[in-house]
């Protein structure tokens, strides 16, 4: 009994803000601003969603976010899959230094990279471009993926690859035919979590994307607040729209995520 | 890593076998990698040089410059920014805020995470679903989190402001985010909301790893619930707690998005922590050199925490 009461309390704490966000996005103006606020919605409306999708640039921002997050995911997975495999299967001179560098890159304060990236990308003409923000996002998604994937590769016994090589596969062949298929779900989940990290990121995107054409969803939503009068209905609708894909993705990968967290995730 | 218990058990036999096995064709397992090993590592090396070492070095260089981005002027000033910062009350106040934000958040996340993990641990229908639902705050975008909590704490129409006013914790028609005393505690609550699932899932997996025989033996000896907790559960959680403290501390210490989007550092600087100070100094005041120095000092702090992490883990467990 006590246990269920505790769990119920936790569920309310964890999920009420999500509930409130969605409910607020579906309330007509008059019900949004009532004192005291009412817990259950009366009439529901999708007008805020219509406003967000028709009259603001949010659809464009969703496209931008999708492009940037997908590219960040692909780039960081490429670096991380090869690097994580190398670091679990080969011995390099300075192995410890390498691992320590990866770990360090993983926990560097983002504001430490902010100015150098801004100035360098500016010099290269990559402000307000997809490429610039993708580079910035890879600075944290790549070490995250590498660290997580290392733990997945560690669980694959080396004997399997050796057997494949005895059967005539090259070493690279063993990697492609044995290790990749066995870790594919782990690799994809890791990549999707990298996607989520990139999707949610605010700091780099806010500095590197100032023009209308390339802004991401978090930047777009934050602009609703800057304005003197916050239009809560629209903001709640946009926030709900931004959150939905993340929750769907996460529910797909959470099983691997739990395992990955155990094995060494820090970011989050 | 939070736990290596499962992985190393699997990995070690393979590693141990490396030396003993006869070489197989086409190069076999050359432990030093050879050309193929270098190819695998190349993208990582490029990443570390271009996106880590270079920016860090650039930041150090910037911190020695008096670089005003707006005016485009730059001159070498050596350690001047660092010396100035150490005499700047705004810096110390931001550091203080950063520590309150970090330790308040980490403490709350670990306590709530542990409580949640203990409630989740054990048989029960629907536990997997409950666990998944409790993980959701961890992935909600910072912007959506910040907006929703600001709405719930809205001075006139916020449901939480209304409830807190009802129990006398808030004077009517105010938002805690507008109060110098209450803004940081409120922001820490949001930080705990967003971060506790991480501690929960790590604790939960650790609890599952405690052998049930230990509890059974304790019960035979007549131990009660609290005795079991103190003598069996807690000792098993000691190591992972240390690791969690280090990891979450680093994360919260460096975390910009959530606090900035909640309060922008206000009111009157009450929630301005070091990442926000860097942001404002650079993209508000365009004093890039000074901002780089603050970021540099943050990195030094983070570096000290990393050393601690490696010490906690022991040298072999990187």
Mutation target for A interface from B81, B136, B149: give the one with most A CBs within 10 A: B136
Angle at B213 between CA B207 and CA B218, to 5 degrees: 95
CATH 1.10.3720.10 domain locations along chain A:
60-264
Q: How far apart are alpha carbons B240 and B199 in whole angstroms?
A: 10
Cβ of B278 within 8 Å of Cβ of A135? The answer is no
Residue A157 φ/ψ, nearest 5 degrees? -65, 135
Model confidence band, residue B303 (pLDDT cutoffs 50, 70, 90):
confident
The answer to whether B186 and B153 have CB atoms below 8 angstroms apart is: yes
* CA pseudo-torsion sign B127, B131, B132, B137: positive
**Domain edges within chain B:** 88-286
* Buried-exposed string B55-72: b where 16+ CB fall within 10 A, e elsewhere: bbebbbebbbbbbbbeee
Cα–Cα distance, A201 to A217 (Å, whole number) = 9
- Cβ–Cβ of A6/B115 closer than 8 Å? yes
Mutant choice from B22, B40, B117 vs A, greatest count of A C-beta within 10 A: B40
Report, as an integer, the average pLDDT of B118-142. Answer: 91
B307 C-beta neighbours (distance < 10 Å), count: 9
- Single out the residue of A250, A222, A252 nearest to residue A61, CA to CA: A222
Task: Determine, for residues A111 and B295 on separate chains, whether the beta-carbon distance falls below 8 Å.
Answer: yes
Distance CA B47, CA A106 (A): 12
Torsion angle of alpha carbons B216, B218, B222, B225, nearest 10°?
-90
Are B139 and A200 inside 8 Å of each other by CB? yes
Check residue A258 and give its pLDDT.
73
Give residue A95's pLDDT. Answer: 83
Selected residues 72-101 of chain B with any CB under 8 Å from a CB in chain A: none
Exposed, middle or buried by CB within 10 Å (0-12, 13-18, 19+), for B200? buried
Question: Percent of chain B scored above 90 by pLDDT?
Answer: 56
Most distant pair of Cα atoms in chain A: their distance: 75
As a whole number of Å, the CA-based R_g of chain A is 22
According to the model, what pLDDT value does residue B52 have? 93
For B203, nearest residue in chain A (alpha carbons): A262
The CA-atom distances, in angstroms, between B68 and each of A10, A258, B75, B290, B296 are 49, 46, 9, 9, 17
pLDDT of B313 higher than 80: no
Nearest Cβ partner for A243 among B120, B132, B144: B144
Mean pLDDT of B258-271: 94
Mean pLDDT of B256-281: 95
- Are A107 and B299 an interchain contact pair (Cβ–Cβ within 8 Å)? no
Instruction: State the Cα–Cα distance between residues A25 and A37, nearest whole angstrom.
Output: 14
Task: Report the range of poorest mean pLDDT among A118-127, B24-33, B218-227, B305-314.
Answer: B24-33
Angstroms from A13 CA to nearest CA on chain B: 8
Asked if B140 is an interface residue toward chain A (Cβ–Cβ < 8 A), one would say yes
Q: Which CATH number fits domain A60-264: 3.40.50.300, 1.10.150.20, 1.10.3720.10, 3.40.50.150?
A: 1.10.3720.10
Contact A107 B251 (CB under 8 A): yes
Min CA distance, A125 vs chain B (Å)? 16
- Start-to-end CA distance of chain B, whole Å, equals 7
Distance CA B46, CA B65 (A): 27
Mutation test of the interface with chain B: which of A16, A40, A103, A114, choosing the one with the most B Cβ atoms within 10 A?
A: A114
Spatial CA neighbour of B189 closest among B202, B177, B201:
B177
CB contact under 8 A, A165 and B42: no
| Interfacial B residues in 188-227 facing A (CB < 8 Å) | 193, 195, 197-198, 201-202, 205
* ipTM for the assembly: 0.92
Nearest Cα residue in chain A from B158: A37
β-pairing, B73-76 vs B65-68, is antiparallel
Other Cβ atoms within 10 Å of A55 Cβ, number: 9
* Averaged pLDDT of chain B: 85
**How high is the mean pLDDT in each 10-residue block of chain A (268 residues)?**
91 97 93 87 91 93 97 96 90 84 87 96 95 96 90 83 86 87 88 95 96 93 77 94 94 78 47
d(CA B140, CA A70): 18
Interface residue B25 vs chain A (CB under 8 A):
yes
Q: End-to-end distance of chain A based on CA atoms, in angstroms? A: 33
Alpha-carbon torsion angle B303, B309, B311, B315, nearest 10: -100
pLDDT at B118 over 80: yes
Characterise B74 by phi-psi region: left (phi > 0), alpha (psi -120 to 50), beta (else): beta
Which chain B positions have a beta carbon within 8 Å of A264's beta carbon? Answer: 1-2
Does residue B15 surpass a pLDDT of 60? Answer: no
C-alpha span between A61 and A222 (Å, rounded): 12
pLDDT of residue A172: 86
Residue B172 contacts A, CB cutoff 8 Å: no
CA distance B52 to chain A (A): 6
CATH fold for the domain made of B88-286: MetI-like fold (1.10.3720)
Predicted TM-score (pTM) of the model is 0.89
Give the distance from residue A108's alpha carbon to the nearest chain B alpha carbon, in angstroms: 7
Query: Could you tell me the CA-to-CA distances from B190 to A264, B106, B167, B236, B281 in Å, in that order?
Result: 24, 12, 20, 29, 25
Q: Which residue has the tokens 């691997």?
A: A256
Residues of B in contact with A162 (CB under 8 A): 17, 21, 24, 29
**CA nearest to B85, candidates B309, B292, B265, B234:** B292
Across the A:B interface, residue pairs with CB atoms under 8 Å apart total 333
Question: B24-41 pLDDT, tens per residue?
Answer: 434 445 555 577 888 899
CB A248 within 8 A of CB A198: no
With a cut of 90, say whether residue B227 has pLDDT above it. Answer: no
DSSP annotation string for A86-97: HHHH---TTHHH
Closest residue on chain B to A208 (Cα): B283
Q: How long is chain B?
A: 318
Across the interface, which of A6, A80, A108 has its CB nearest the CB of B119? Answer: A6
B257:A202 CB<8 A: yes
What is the mean predicted confidence (pLDDT) over B153-159? 90
B58-94 pLDDT, tens digit per residue, is: 999 999 999 888 888 889 999 999 999 999 999 999 9
Helix (H, G, I), strand (E, B), or coil: what is residue A210?
Answer: coil
């Amino acid at each position: 009994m006590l246990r269920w009461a505790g769990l119920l309390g936790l569920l309310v704490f964890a999920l009420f803000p999500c509930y409130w966000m969605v409910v607020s996005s579906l309330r007509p103006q008059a019900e949004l601003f009532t004192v005291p606020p009412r817990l259950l919605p009366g009439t529901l409306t999708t007008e805020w969603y219509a406003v967000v999708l028709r009259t603001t640039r949010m659809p464009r921002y969703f496209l931008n976010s999708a492009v940037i997050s997908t590219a960040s995911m692909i780039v960081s997975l490429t670096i991380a899959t090869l690097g994580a495999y190398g670091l679990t299967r080969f011995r390099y001179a300075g192995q410890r230094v390498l691992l320590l560098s990866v770990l360090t890159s993983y926990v560097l304060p983002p504001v430490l990279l902010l100015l150098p990236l801004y100035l360098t990308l500016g010099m290269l003409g990559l402000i307000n471009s997809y490429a610039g923000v993708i580079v910035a996002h890879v600075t944290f998604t790549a070490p995250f993926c590498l660290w997580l994937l290392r733990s997945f590769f560690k669980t694959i016994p080396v004997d399997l690859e050796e057997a494949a090589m005895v059967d005539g596969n090259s070493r690279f062949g063993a990697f492609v035919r044995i290790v990749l298929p066995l870790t594919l779900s782990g690799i994809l989940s890791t990549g999707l979590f990298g996607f989520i990290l990139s999707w949610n990121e605010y700091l780099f995107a806010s500095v590197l994307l100032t023009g209308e054409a390339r802004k991401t969803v978090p930047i777009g939503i934050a602009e609703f607040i800057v304005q003197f009068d916050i239009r809560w209905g629209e903001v709640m609708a946009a926030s709900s729209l931004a959150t939905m894909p993340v929750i769907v993705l996460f529910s797909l990968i959470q099983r691997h995520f739990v395992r990955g967290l155990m094995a060494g995730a820090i970011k989050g | 890593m939070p736990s290596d218990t499962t992985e190393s058990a699997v990995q070690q036999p393979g590693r141990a076998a490396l030396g003993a096995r006869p070489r197989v064709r086409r190069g076999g397992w050359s432990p030093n990698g050879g050309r193929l090993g270098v190819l695998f590592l190349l993208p990582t090396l490029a990443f570390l040089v271009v996106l880590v070492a270079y920016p860090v070095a650039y930041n150090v260089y910037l911190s020695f410059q008096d670089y005003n981005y707006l005016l485009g002027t730059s001159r070498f000033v050596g350690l001047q920014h660092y010396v100035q910062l150490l005499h700047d009350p705004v810096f110390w106040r931001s550091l203080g805020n950063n520590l309150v934000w970090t330790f308040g958040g980490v403490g709350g996340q670990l306590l709530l995470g542990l409580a949640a993990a203990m409630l989740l641990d054990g048989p029960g229908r629907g536990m997997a679903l409950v666990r998944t639902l409790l993980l959701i705050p961890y992935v909600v975008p910072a912007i959506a989190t910040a907006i929703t909590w600001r709405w719930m704490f809205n001075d006139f129409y916020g449901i939480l402001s209304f409830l807190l006013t009802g129990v006398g914790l808030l004077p009517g028609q105010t938002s805690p985010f507008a109060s110098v005393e209450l803004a940081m505690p409120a922001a820490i609550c949001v930080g705990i909301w967003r971060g506790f699932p991480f501690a929960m899932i790590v604790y939960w997996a650790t609890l599952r790893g405690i052998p049930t025989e230990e509890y059974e033996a304790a019960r035979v000896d007549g131990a009660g619930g609290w005795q079991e907790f103190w003598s069996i559960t807690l000792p098993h959680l000691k190591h992972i707690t240390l690791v969690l403290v280090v990891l979450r501390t680093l994360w919260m210490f460096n975390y910009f998005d959530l606090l900035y989007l909640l309060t922008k550092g206000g009111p009157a600087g009450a929630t301005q922590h070091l990442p926000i100070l860097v942001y404002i100094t650079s993209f508000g005041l365009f004093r890039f050199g000074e901002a780089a120095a603050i970021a540099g000092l943050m990195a030094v702090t983070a570096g000290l925490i990393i050393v601690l992490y490696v010490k906690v883990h022991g040298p072999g467990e990187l």
